[in-house]
Structure 1
Amino acid sequence: MRLQQSMGALADRRFAWYFTARTVSTAGSVMVPVALAFAVLHIDRSAGALAQVLGVRTLTMVVFLLVGGVVADRFSRIVVLQVSHVLTCLTQALAAYLIISGDATLTQLTAIEGVNGAVSAFTMPAMMGVVPLVVDRGRLQQANALLSFSRSGLAIIGPAVAGLLVVGVGPGWALAVDALTYAVAIVCLTRVGLPRRSQEAGAPRHSMVRELREGWSEFTRREWLWVVVLAFGLTNAIHTGVIGVLGPLVATSAPSIGEAGWGLVLSAEAVGTVLMTLVMLRLRLRHPLRAGMLAICVLAVPMVLLGVAPAIVPVAVGFFLAGAAVEVFGVGWNTALHEHVPVSVLSRVSSYDALGSFVAMPIGTFLYGWLAVSVDVETLMLVSAGVYVLVSLSALLSRSVRELGRSSEDPASTGAAVSEPSRS
C-alpha cells in the first residue's frame, strides 16, 4: 500500500477536522503525566502523595464512566466532547496558575485532578463513538492508526519537553500549554459534522437505567470483549502502580535518569509506538486480539529493567519496545470494537470496557504507594512483571479472543454484532 493510500482517511473532511482536534489537544496532554508527577513530588516527595493525586483522578473517572457512556450515546458526541474540553481547559488552567504562583497544595491538586477524572469519563466514550461516524468502514483500521500516529508522534517530544520545562521553569507551564490546546480543539470540533441523532441511533430514547442495561447486554454477549477487559482490569492496576507510581520515584533516585531523563524515557516509548504505527497503516491484522494480547506482554520488559537496571539507556530501550507493543494492541482493539459493536451502543459498550479496564487502577495506585515503603522495589517490579505476563496470556485461553477476525459487514446498519467466532 502506497503512503498516499495509507493516509486516505484524511480525505474525509469530517475525519480531517476530528483528527486535527485530537492532535491539537494531545499536543498538550502528552506533557501532563510528567508535569503533574513532578509538581506533586515538589510539594511532597513521597510515593504516597503521588498515589493520592493519581488515584483520586482514576477513581472519579471510574465512578462516572457508565453515565458518560449513556450521555455520549444519547446526545451529540461532538457537543459532549466540546463541553468536556471546556471543563478540562478551565481545570488545567487553574492547576497551572496555582503551581506557577507557588500556591499549590496537595489537597488542591488532588481536587482538581478529581474533577479532570470525572470529565474524562465523558470524553473517552464520546471519542470512541465518533470515529465510525466520520470515516468509511473500510478505513477504520487506517483511521485508528492515524489517530494513534498523531498521539504517539507528539508523545515523542511531549514528555521530553515537559521534563525540560520542569527543570527550567517549573511544571506549571506544561499544564498551561495543555489548557491552551484544549481551547483550540474546541474550535476545531465545531467543524465536524455528524449524522443527526435519529440517523445515528434509530431508536426511541429510554430511561438511563434501561440504556445502561442495553449496554451491559451488548457487552456481556461478546466473550472476546469481557475476557480482554477482565484481563486488563488486572494488568492496568499493575502497570499504573509500577510505571505511574514507582517509575518517577526510581527516576528521581537514579543519577543517570532524573526528572529530565524520565521524560526522555517516556519519549522513547512514543518512538516505538510511532514506528509501529507506520507498520499498522499498511498491515491488515487478520486476528487483531490474538496479535494484541501477545504483543502486550512486552510491557513487562520496562518493569524488569526499572528493577534490575535503572539506567536511562536500558530503560529507554524497554519503553521503546513497550510502545511498539501498545500500538499493536491499541489499533487491534479499537478496530475490533468499531467493526463488531453497533454504533448506536458503542459509547455505552466502550464505557463498560473502560470501567472494567480501569476499575482496579485506583487500587493499584494506592497499593503500590504503600508497597513502595514496605517491599524491596526491585523484587516488587520483577514479581509485578511476571504476573503481568501471566494475566495477559491467560486471555488467549478463550477461543473467542484467539479467533476473532475482521468483519466485512457494517454493524451500524444491521444493529447487531457480526462475524463473531464460536465461543469456548
Structure 2
Amino acid sequence: MADRLDRRRVMIASDVVRLVVQAVAATLLLSDGAEVWSLAALAALYGAGDAFFQPAMTGLLPQTVSAARLQDANALRGMTYSIGSIAGPALAGGIIALGGPGAAFVVDAVTFAVSVACLVPLQPRVVDRAAAAATSFLDELRGGWRAVRALPWVRDGLVAMATYHVVVLPSVFVLGPVLADQELRGAGDWAIISAAFGIGSILGDLALLRWRPRRALHSALLLLIGASCQAAIFGSGLSVWLIAALEVLAGACVTGFFTLWTVSLQEHVPEDVLSRVSSYDFLASAGLIPVGTALAGALVEPVGLHELLVAMSVVGAAVAAACAATPAVRALTRPGAPGTASPPPRP
C-alpha cells in the first residue's frame, strides 16, 4: 500500500489505528473490563496497523531528505529508538506505579496523536502514483517479490536478517530474562544489561553520523556478526557488569547493522518498489520472531540453557559471515563511490 498510496497518509492512518486500539485497551483496563481474549484481539489489531508504518517510513525518508543525508536521517531515527529503549521502560514503570497499566496505555495512545501532529505538516517530495494505481494489487504484490529476487544482495541480507531474528533474538526476549532470574539477581540485573545495550546503541548511532563505509551493506553484515554474539554473551557465565560491558558493544553492532541495511535499501532499490521490498524486510525480521521464540522454548530443556545460548550465537554469526562473503554483497558500493554503477532512476 505504501508503494501505491501517499506514504505520509499511510503512516498517519497507521497512527490513528494504533491510537484507537490503545485507547480502547486503556478503557478496558481502567474499567476492569479487560480479558485475555480482548487484549489479544487488540494486540492483533495493533500489529496489523503497525505493519503499515515501517515500510512506509523507509520509503518516505528518501522523499524527505537528500541522498547525501540518508545515513544521517536513519542514524537519528535509530537514536530515537535507542533512547526509547532506555527511557521507555523507566517511564512506563513510573506511570504504572502511579496510575496502573490503564494509565500507561492512555499515555501510549497520546504518543500516536503526537506522531500524527508531526506528520501532518510534513511536505515530502511528491511522487506520481498513477502507474501503480492503474495496476492491480496482486500484480503490485508480485512485482515486489520480483524486485527482491532480481537483487541477490537483498536476498542475502534477508537470509541473514531472518536468521538473526529466528535464532539469536529469542535470547533477548526469552532466554536472557530466564537466565537473569535463575542465575543473576533477577529483574534488577536484567535492567542493567538492557540499559547497557541501549547505551551502546546510542553510541553506535552517534558514530554513524560520521562514519560512512564505502560498502555499507558489507559493513552491515560484518556488524551483524557482532550483534549475533548477544546470546553467547548472556550464556558466558560472566558477572552482570562484564555482560553489560559486552552488551554495549553488541548494542553498537545491532544499531549499525539496521541503519546501514536500511540505507542500502534506500540507495539501491528503485523508489517505486522500495516499500514493498522493505515489507519483505520486516516480514523476515519482526514477522519471524514468534517462530524463534517457540523454538527456543522447546529446545532449552533438551539442550540446556547455556549450551543453547552459545549455539544460537554460533549459527547467527556463521550465517551473517556467509552472507557477507557473497559476491553480490561484497560488490555493492555506495552511489558515487569509485567503480559504482549508477543508482536506479527515481521518478
**TM-score, scaled to structure 1:** 0.73
Aligned: 1:227 with 2:156: yes
Matches within 5 A, 1:269-288: 269-288=197-216
- Residue number in structure 1 paired with 2:195: 267
Q: Cα 1:310–1:246, aligned 2, differ >3 Å: closer, same or farther?
A: farther
- Equivalent residue number for residue 213 of structure 1: 142
**Separation in 2, partners of 1:108, 1:240:** 27
Q: What is the deviation of 1:116?
A: 1.6
C-alpha distance in 2 between matches for 1:333 and 1:369:
29
Aligned mate of 1:93, from 13, 23, 26: 23
Task: Determine the C-alpha separation between the residues in 2 that align with 1:106 and 1:372.
Answer: 27
Aligned-partner residue type, residue 227 of structure 1: D
Q: Distance in 1 between matches of 2:32 and 2:184?
A: 27
Aligned to 1:299: 227
Distance 1:286 1:194 in 2: 27
Kept in 1, the 8 Å contact 2:166–2:288? The answer is: yes
CA contact 2:171–2:230 (8 Å) conserved in 1: no
1:177 to 107, 119, 124: 107
The answer to whether the Cα contact below 8 Å between 2:63 and 2:126 also exists between their aligned partners in 1 is: no
Q: Which residue of 2 aligns with 1:342?
A: 270
- 1:256 maps to 185
Task: Report the AA paired with residue 392 of structure 1.
Answer: A
Shift in Å, 1:244: 1.2
Which residue matches 1:20?
Answer: none
Would you say 1:315 and 2:243 are equivalent positions? yes
Counterpart for residue 171 of structure 2: 242
**Within 5 Å, which residues of 2 pair with 1:15-414?**
71-99=1-29, 104-163=34-93, 170-198=100-128, 205-258=134-187, 260-309=188-237, 312-408=240-336, 409=342, 411-413=344-346
Match of 1:21 in 2: none
Instruction: Tell me, in whole angstroms, the C-alpha distance in 2 between the residues paired with 1:412 and 1:352.
Output: 21
Whether contact under 8 Å (2:3, 2:132) holds in the other structure is no
Post-superposition CA distance 1:35-64 (Å, at most 9, x none): xxxxxxxxxxxxxxxxxxxxxxxxxxxxxx
Measured on the aligned residues, the alpha-carbon RMSD in Å equals: 2.5
Q: Which amino acid is 2:244 matched to?
A: A
In 2: Cα distance, 1:102 partner to 1:379 partner: 43
Segment drifting more, 390-399 vs 172-181: 172-181
Name the amino acid aligned to 1:315: I
Is the 1:301–1:318 contact (alpha carbons within 8 Å) kept by the matching residues of 2? no
Q: CA deviation at 1:358?
A: 4.1
Q: What do the CA deviations read for 1:156-195 (whole angstroms, capped 9, x no partner)?
A: 3223434555677655544432221111111111111234
The amino acid across from 2:231 in the alignment is M
- Deviation, structure 1 residue 234: 1.9
Partner-residue secondary structure (3-state), 2:46: helix
SS in 2 for 1:72: coil
> What's the CA shift for 1:359?
4.5
Give the CA deviation at 1:87: 1.3
- 1:238 Cα deviation after fit: 1.6
Q: Per the alignment, in what secondary structure is the counterpart of residue 24 of structure 2?
A: helix
Identity %: 35
Structure 1, 71-80 or 298-307: larger mean CA deviation? 298-307
Structure 1 residue runs without a partner (length 5+): 1-70, 416-424
Which range is displaced more, 248-257 or 398-407?
248-257
**1:280: how far off?**
0.9
Counterparts in 2 of 1:164 and 1:382: CA distance versus 1, 3 Å: farther
